[in-house]
Amino acid sequence: MAGMLAGGTPHSVARADPLAADRYPNGRIPASALCPIGQPGQALRCDAARDFRRMAGAYRAHFGRPLLVTDSYRSYAAQVSCRARKGSLCAMPGTSNHGRGLAVDMDGPAARCGTPEHAWLTRHGPRYGWVWPPWAHPDGANPEPWHWQYRTTS
């Protein structure tokens, strides 16, 4: 499946090395080291993107509608903007898992606790490497039911 990322950058280079994004500082990953997740303008580290697409396919098969994302990889500038607009809902610039290409913010029913969609993600997400970190739970340090991370619980 060949294709282009936002801005017309081919993602085939990153496909050859799924961890290419790890060679760059947080928020400074070039588009060529990221892979699309199947939603316009959204990309992640390539292994995370692959597993997100697998999870999104299973979600669609179960619910009959797509798993929606509002945010995935964030450049350093986007992290600065997010922190300025949303305060502590956004990590300090340069420390975000979004800036490593390892986090997504869900949209729709999957972004809200108590929905069947969120429960499905909680139960099935880890099978695909995606977890809802404890700090984002309702009793956590920064409740964010919409925030999911790839292969990390920190």
Q: Tell me: the pLDDT tens digits for 13-22? A: 344 476 788 8
The CATH number given to whatever domain includes residue 118 is 3.30.1380.10
24 in a domain, yes or no? no
141 in a domain, yes or no? yes
59 in a domain, yes or no? yes
Q: What phi, psi does 24 have (nearest 5°)?
A: -120, 155
Which range marks the domain in which residue 139 is found?
47-150
What one-letter code names the amino acid at 20? A
Q: With bands split at pLDDT 50, 70 and 90, how would you rate the model's confidence at 124?
A: very high
39 in a domain, yes or no? no
Number of domains comprising the chain: 1
76 in a domain, yes or no? yes
pTM of the model: 0.86
Residue-wise pLDDT for 104-122, tens only, equals: 999 999 999 999 999 999 9
Distance CA 50, CA 45 (A): 9
* Alpha-helical runs (H) found in the chain: 12-16, 46-63, 76-86, 116-124
